[in-house]
């Protein structure tokens, strides 16, 4: 296949490009960031940096000659970013809208859209002891303001392009993806990377007081990036038409997440809770009934295994940055 990965300079995109190249596909990668800011650069791919996919003409250029499109391009980050940049997150609607239109015109055979668990209605996420979210729980609509609304709208765009124009679309609702080769500092990082960074810094400096956003009792499930890529490939090759959860069902509190990373690091830490910081919904978990029934598979990498690999990588980045500062 001739495959486009939009947003392939990002965290999940870089891992997906590696997988697609390994399968023998011809891969084109487009990302708005300069090449030196990509998390992974694969020389075997055609890499197009500084490529603004919010523009229709750019989307038309990049889908030319392409069989399958994977759209992972979005302006996004962790809770601290999406709560304070709602308009910027919603402007990502231009990317998916223009990529869909360009793909339809170019007669692309299949189109994948990376959605998010942030589409789910807030009324189902008010308790840390949350009932796992089923795909039907996105309606009646009450998604995360800004980012979640854009994702939910873009899901509908995919559906109607399939129904009205015959463009085969697949939609995954990702649940809190983490792993190496992704954002770990700077304000856009998500909870696992942020906690890995803070504990790596505590290990390095000896200051073992860790700031935790909220009371730490809010719960989440976290999916390792290898499972994310596996689920994405399985979904793309399937006949599943409706949006589907791709996420781990291993629910933990943020306090438990801190304790787990500290145990991996082999240190003891003291949590200092910042109750004024963004913390999102009280509980969110993935119901995997549909993915197991439809694909005969669900994410299976345990949190401890994934965090061990992630912490090892983040610790290397922290130490490298510290060495540069010392110089």
Catalytic entry in 120, 147, 174, 178: 147
Encoded tokens for 246? 């791709």
266 contacts 161 by C-beta, under 8 angstroms: no
Among residues 70, 46, 310, which one has the least CA distance to residue 176? 310
Over residues 27-69, the pLDDT tens digits come to 999 999 999 999 999 999 999 999 999 999 999 999 999 999 9
pLDDT for residue 326: 59
| DSSP annotation string for 115-126 | EEGGGS-GGG-S
Cα distances (Å, whole numbers) of residue 132 to 135, 136, 277: 10, 11, 25
pLDDT tier for residue 324 given thresholds of 50, 70 and 90: confident
Structure pTM?
Answer: 0.96
Per-residue pLDDT, averaged over 78-102, amounts to 95
Tell whether the model's pLDDT for residue 327 goes beyond 80. Answer: no
Domain ranges of the chain: 2-175+225-246, 178-221+250-276+302-326
pLDDT for residue 323: 85
Over residues 196-213, the pLDDT tens digits come to 999 999 999 999 999 999
Tell whether the model's pLDDT for residue 79 goes beyond 90. Answer: no
Is 147 a residue of the active site?
A: yes
Length of the chain equals 327
pLDDT for residue 325: 73
Over residues 262-312, the pLDDT tens digits come to 999 999 999 999 999 988 999 999 999 999 999 999 999 999 999 999 999
96 contacts 115 by C-beta, under 8 angstroms: no
Tell whether the model's pLDDT for residue 245 goes beyond 80. Answer: yes
> Is the alpha carbon torsion for 30, 31, 37, 39 positive or negative?
negative
Distance CA 257, CA 264 (A): 11
> Is the alpha carbon torsion for 242, 247, 249, 251 positive or negative?
negative
Q: Which of helix, strand or coil describes residue 214?
A: coil
Distance of CA 216 to the CA centre of its chain: 22
Domain 2-175+225-246 has CATH 3.10.310.30: no
Over residues 138-196, the pLDDT tens digits come to 999 999 999 999 999 999 999 999 999 999 999 999 999 999 999 999 999 999 999 99
Encoded tokens for 20? 């697609």
pLDDT for residue 159: 98
pLDDT for residue 5: 98
Burial class (CB in 10 A: 0-12, 13-18, 19+), 134: middle
Whole-number average pLDDT of the chain: 96
**What is the Cα gyration radius of the chain?**
19
Among residues 257, 143, 154, which one has the least CA distance to residue 197? 257
Q: Which fold has domain 178-221+250-276+302-326?
A: UDP-galactose 4-epimerase; domain 1 (3.90.25)
Residue labelled with tokens 């009934």: 289
101 contacts 56 by C-beta, under 8 angstroms: yes
């Amino acid at each position: 296949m001739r495959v486009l990965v939009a947003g392939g300079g990002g965290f999940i995109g870089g891992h997906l490009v590696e997988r697609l190249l390994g399968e023998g596909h011809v891969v084109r990668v487009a990302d708005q960031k300069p090449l030196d800011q990509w998390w992974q650069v694969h020389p075997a791919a055609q890499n197009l940096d500084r490529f603004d996919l919010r523009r229709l003409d750019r989307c038309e250029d990049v889908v030319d000659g392409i069989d399958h499109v994977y759209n992972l391009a979005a302006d996004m980050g962790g809770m601290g970013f999406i709560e304070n940049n709602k308009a910027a997150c919603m402007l990502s609607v231009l990317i998916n809208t223009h990529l869909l239109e360009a793909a339809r015109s170019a007669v692309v055979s299949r189109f994948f859209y990376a959605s998010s668990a942030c589409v789910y209605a807030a009324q189902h996420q008010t308790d840390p002891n949350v009932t796992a979210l089923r795909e039907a729980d996105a309606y009646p609509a009450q998604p995360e303001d800004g980012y979640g609304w854009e994702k939910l709208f873009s899901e509908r765009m995919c559906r109607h392009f399939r129904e009205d124009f015959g463009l085969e679309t697949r939609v995954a609702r990702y649940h809190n993806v983490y792993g190496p080769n992704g954002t770990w500092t700077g304000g856009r990082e998500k909870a696992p990377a942020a906690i890995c960074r803070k504990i790596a810094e505590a290990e390095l400096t000896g200051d073992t007081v860790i700031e935790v956003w909220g009371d730490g009792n809010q719960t989440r499930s976290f999916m390792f990036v290898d499972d994310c890529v596996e689920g994405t490939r399985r979904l793309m090759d399937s006949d599943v038409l409706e949006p589907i959860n791709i996420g781990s069902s291993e629910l933990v509190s943020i306090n438990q997440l801190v304790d787990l990373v500290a145990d991996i690091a082999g240190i003891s830490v003291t949590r200092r809770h910042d109750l004024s910081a963004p913390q999102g919904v009280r509980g969110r978990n993935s119901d995997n009934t549909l993915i197991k029934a439809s694909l005969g598979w669900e994410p299976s990498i345990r949190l401890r295994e994934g965090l061990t690999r992630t912490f090892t990588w983040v610790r290397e980045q922290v130490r490298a940055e510290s060495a540069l500062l010392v110089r």
